[in-house]
């Protein structure tokens, strides 16, 4: 077996054999295949695709490159959720403790933000004392006690994916759907959860801008979960408009606690409940009403247990930015659109996100919006408040927000688009 033969096969649109897939990923992980060779193969996969068997085998080979977690000792059914990322997407924060309050165990391995999309770990690290790195034993203990844990994936989980992801990031091959799907699902399957719900974002602020691409990704990941014995469903959700009222780390934690207290923005509550119902159904707990757990304080109690178990103080004041700047509406009218991507880039430039993985983030930085599409606004009314410790970033953030809001004439009728665009389950294939 050699790398050039495998590259040529995919270049010439041939199916890779199981043996070729197993060999190339093992050899790349241990250094026998050069970066430029794997880069060529990744580009061939982007251009020529893979069929279901190839993607399933590729995913299995990445799982086999590392360890697998085992939650069979838990008395609760396990179910996890993964989002492909968006602006203001704080759903994991209220969702994990809510589903735990309903009787499931939620082992949530999450990541950090890069570019215009925020990272769950960055948000939670704005809570004083909270820590993302846990051993497997600590994860199990927290799941047994609090029912939910949100933490960083260990280095031993799908190391082939970690190496390949970094390569794709610098070779223009991030967009390959077979590689996106196998990257996400190799870690989720290796994590050992019994069921998985996917939130595939679609729109200007999402990785997948086009609905057809979002559906293809959702179907591919659902098939991978099914092929590997994990009950998997997906919701395709809108990301043309940012979620909630804030994008930023501590800002989003504060908003999530409002949702856990029975309030918060309507769209955050709606999507949290939609995903909770999917997760509870997948875990065999469909008879539990998650809305009641939000309203009676059970979810908030589960949140506090989860945060304390990871060293955080859920009652401590959250960090706030040193400087703020208000952006006002320039005319009367009806806000009919707010561009997620522009808002996300503004939050990133204010310090809430990072351009490189090594960059630090500001806990208090971000963007807060005071109107959402469908609202009537008046000239001079605040539309955004920008938060940062580095006021020199206001100018570039304001450049990012130029044209983010579309204000139509007063009296313009507005029809709100659905938040959940589609559902994909194994039976759809």
- Residue 114 pLDDT: 64
Which residue of the set 10, 57, 81, 82 is catalytic? 82
Of the candidates 235, 200, 252, which has an alpha carbon nearest to the alpha carbon of residue 88? 252
- The residue from 90, 123, 162, 168 that is catalytic is 168
- Count helices and strands in the chain by DSSP H and E runs: 16, 13
Q: Say whether pLDDT at 354 is over 90.
A: no
Please determine, for residue 207, whether its predicted confidence score (pLDDT) is greater than 50. yes
Q: Which of 65, 183, 186, 256 is catalytic?
A: 183
pLDDT at 428: 45
Report DSSP state, residue 426.
G
pLDDT at 166: 84
- Close Cβ partners of 218 (under 8 Å, ≥ 6 residues apart): 198, 200, 234, 236, 422, 424
Q: What are the backbone dihedrals phi and psi of residue 192, each rounded to the nearest 5 degrees, phi first? A: 90, 15
pLDDT of residue 214: 96
**Catalytic residue flag (residue 161):** yes
Q: Is the pLDDT of residue 429 over 60?
A: no
pTM for the predicted model, two decimal places: 0.93
Q: What is the mean pLDDT of the chain?
A: 94
The token pair that represents 332 in the structure block: 């009367």
Task: Indicate whether 224 pLDDT > 90.
Answer: yes
Q: Is the pLDDT of residue 427 over 70?
A: no
**How would CATH label the architecture of 3-49?**
Up-down Bundle (1.20)
Average of per-residue pLDDT across 19-35: 96
Task: Give the active site residue among 116, 187, 245, 293.
Answer: 187
Nearby residues of 392 by Cβ (< 8 Å), 6 or more positions away: none
pLDDT of residue 113: 67
Q: Which helix (H) or strand (E) holds 317?
A: none
Asked if residue 394 has pLDDT above 50, the reply is: yes
Q: 237-291, pLDDT tens digit by residue?
A: 999 999 999 999 999 999 999 999 999 999 999 999 999 999 999 999 999 999 9
**Domain regions of the chain by residue span:** 3-49, 79-155+164-316+422-428, 323-408
Average pLDDT over residues 211-235: 96
Which of 89, 161, 240, 267 is labelled catalytic? 161
Please say if 187 is a catalytic residue. yes
- pLDDT tens readout for residues 36-58: 999 999 999 999 999 999 999 99
Q: Quick one: pLDDT band at residue 111, thresholds 50, 70, 90?
A: confident
Residue 115: the pLDDT is 65
186 classed as catalytic:
no
Q: Is 168 a catalytic residue?
A: yes
Q: List, as one string, the DSSP characters of 111-145.
A: ---BTTB--HHHHHTTSTT------HHHHHHHHHH
Average pLDDT over residues 91-115: 91
183 as an active site residue: the answer is: yes
Between 13 and 428, the more confident residue is 13
CATH architecture of 323-408: Alpha-Beta Complex (3.90)
User: Tell me: domain 79-155+164-316+422-428, CATH 3.40.1030.10, correct?
Assistant: yes
- Main-chain phi, psi angles of 210, to 5 degrees: -105, 140
């Amino acid at each position: 077996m050699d790398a050039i033969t495998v590259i040529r096969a995919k270049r010439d649109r041939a199916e890779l054999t199981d043996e070729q897939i197993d060999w190339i990923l093992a050899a790349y992980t241990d250094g026998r295949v050069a970066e430029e060779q794997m880069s060529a193969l990744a580009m061939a996969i982007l251009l020529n695709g893979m069929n279901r068997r190839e993607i399933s085998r590729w995913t299995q080979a990445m799982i086999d490159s590392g360890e697998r977690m085992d939650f069979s000792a838990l008395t609760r059914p396990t179910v996890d959720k993964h989002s492909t990322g968006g602006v203001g997407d704080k759903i994991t924060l209220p969702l994990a403790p809510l589903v735990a309050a309903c009787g499931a165990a939620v082992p949530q391995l999450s990541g950090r933000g890069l570019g215009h999309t925020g990272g769950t770990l960055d948000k939670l690290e704005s809570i004083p004392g909270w820590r993302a790195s846990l051993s497997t034993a600590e994860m199990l203990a927290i799941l047994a006690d609090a029912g939910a844990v949100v933490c960083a994936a260990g280095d031993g989980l799908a190391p082939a994916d970690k190496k390949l992801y970094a390569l794709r990031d610098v070779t223009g091959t991030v967009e390959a759907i077979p590689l996106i799907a196998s990257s996400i699902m190799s870690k989720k399957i290796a994590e050992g959860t019994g069921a998985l719900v996917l939130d595939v974002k679609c729109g200007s602020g999402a990785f997948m801008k086009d609905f057809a691409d979002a559906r293809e990704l959702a179907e591919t990941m659902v098939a991978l979960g099914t092929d590997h014995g994990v009950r998997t469903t997906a919701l395709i959700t809108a990301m043309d408009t940012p979620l909630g009222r804030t994008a930023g780390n501590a800002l989003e934690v504060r908003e999530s606690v409002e949702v856990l207290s029975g309030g918060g923005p309507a769209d955050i509550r709606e999507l949290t409940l939609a995903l909770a119902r999917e997760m509870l159904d997948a875990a065999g707990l469909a008879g539990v009403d998650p809305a009641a757990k939000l309203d009676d304080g059970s979810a908030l109690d589960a949140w506090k247990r989860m945060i304390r178990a990871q060293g955080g103080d859920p009652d401590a004041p959250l960090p706030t930015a040193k400087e703020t700047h208000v952006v006002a509406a320039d005319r009367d009218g009806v806000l009919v659109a707010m561009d997620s991507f522009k808002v996300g880039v503004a939050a990133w430039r204010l310090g809430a996100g990072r351009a490189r993985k090594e960059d630090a983030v500001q806990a208090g930085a971000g963007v807060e919006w005071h109107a959402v599409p469908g609202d009537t606004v008046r000239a001079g009314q605040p539309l955004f408040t920008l938060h940062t410790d580095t006021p020199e970033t206001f100018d570039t953030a304001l450049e990012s927000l130029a044209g983010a809001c579309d204000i139509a004439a007063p009296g313009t009728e507005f029809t709100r688009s659905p938040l959940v665009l589609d559902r994909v389950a194994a039976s759809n294939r």
